[in-house]
Amino acid sequence: LNAPEHGSDLHLALDTGVLEAPWCGQPHTLWGSGRDAMRALLAWGREHHGWRRALVPSFFCQDVVVAIARELPLVAYDDAPGQPAPAAVEADERDVVFVVNLHGARTSNPMETRAVVVEDHTHDPVSPWAFASDADWAVASLRKTLPLPDGGVLWSPRRRPSPPAAAVTSAHAAAAADRLAAMILKRLYLDGGTIVKDDFRRLAVAGEHAIALGDISGICDFSAARLASLPSRAWREARLRNHAAFVAALGELDGVAMLPGAFAATLVFERAEDRERVRAALVEQRIYPAVLWSLETPAVSGIPVEHVELSRRVLSLHCDFRYTPDDLRRVAQAVRRVTERP
């Protein structure tokens, strides 16, 4: 029997329910992407509060770093997935520190600072921490955990004023339409339809590339209309269950550890070449993992070499609501097989 594909981009989901999220029932704005939400806040804070500098974790998505640098000069502070807490930062009231729930592994803000705090809840937008946050502002990219083609959200746990929403730009609408088309086609493909895989991959890649490149945009109409009906609580619970099933099924494996955090099941190999070998072997079995993140072309100086090194050794297996614990047990067995093979 041909095992189903595992991983890669989310496809269209048909489940409906009620979104339960920290920004529900309080003022918030929706943006074209997480990066657009961040940029809108920074551009506004620069003008209204004289913000001068942004601080970002040293182990961070470099596309996000590039986007932030469009609005403010930026420096990296020492933080990485698996690290219990970030290093102390030297910052003042006109600095903006992005505190990131990397891989969804943290349960509260570990940062003591006089600076403006913006939390990034992308990896677990409906976590207890996000609900209990007392950050000045919080942002999340929506499409990493929810089956939406685009979207970012900005809210202020401290109920501070926030920038007004922006219109959808035509460039963003086109990118989101490509991504939505890819999600629908992938759904039909996975359901056994006669869909050419290259067709939806091409649309997904083109849409992903174009998203957040242009001017700051609002969210597309589809995502705005769909968001409130996403069963966020059930999906978070499914993710946690799947993650636990993977961890239990993987057990002890020589040369491999796991990073904390249930955004994905993230392996850390002792050697970068094993990561590459296992990744290729999993793809052959139609299991498509992710790497969060490559640091080979840094957009900020001062990334510790150990972080670059770590980024070469990590591999994330998707464990979101698309899957059952049995799916994750199957993936864990595949990881065991291909890792143990000499």
Ligand X SMILES: Cc1ncc(COP(=O)(O)O)c(C=O)c1O
Interface positions with ligand X (CB under 6 A): 33-35, 61, 63-64, 100, 120, 122-123, 141, 144, 152, 212
d(CA 143, CA 127): 16
Buried b (16+ CB within 10 A) or exposed e, 284-319: ebebebbebbebeebbbeebeeebeebbbbbbbbbb
Buried b (16+ CB within 10 A) or exposed e, 69-87: bebbebbbbbbbbbbeebe
Tell me how far the alpha carbon of residue 259 is from its chain's centroid: 15
List the one residue out of 223, 221, 214 whose CA is nearest residue 142: 223
d(CA 46, CA 72): 8
In whole angstroms, the minimum distance from the beta carbon of 38 to ligand X comes to 7
Q: Cβ–Cβ contacts within 10 Å for residue 337, how many?
A: 13
In whole angstroms, the minimum distance from the beta carbon of 324 to ligand X comes to 25
In whole angstroms, the minimum distance from the beta carbon of 33 to ligand X comes to 3
**Residue 105 or 328: which CB sits closer to ligand X?**
105
In whole angstroms, the minimum distance from the beta carbon of 209 to ligand X comes to 11
Residue nearest to ligand X (CB): 34
d(CA 80, CA 59): 5
Rounded to a whole number of angstroms, the CA Rg of the chain reads 20
**Residue 136 or 332: which CB sits closer to ligand X?**
136
**Residue 86 or 152: which CB sits closer to ligand X?**
152
**Residue 100 or 117: which CB sits closer to ligand X?**
100
**Residue 123 or 243: which CB sits closer to ligand X?**
123
DSSP 164-183: PP-PPPHHHHHHHHHHHHHH
In whole angstroms, the minimum distance from the beta carbon of 32 to ligand X comes to 8
In whole angstroms, the minimum distance from the beta carbon of 68 to ligand X comes to 10
**Residue 124 or 327: which CB sits closer to ligand X?**
124
Q: Is 92 strand, coil or helix?
A: coil
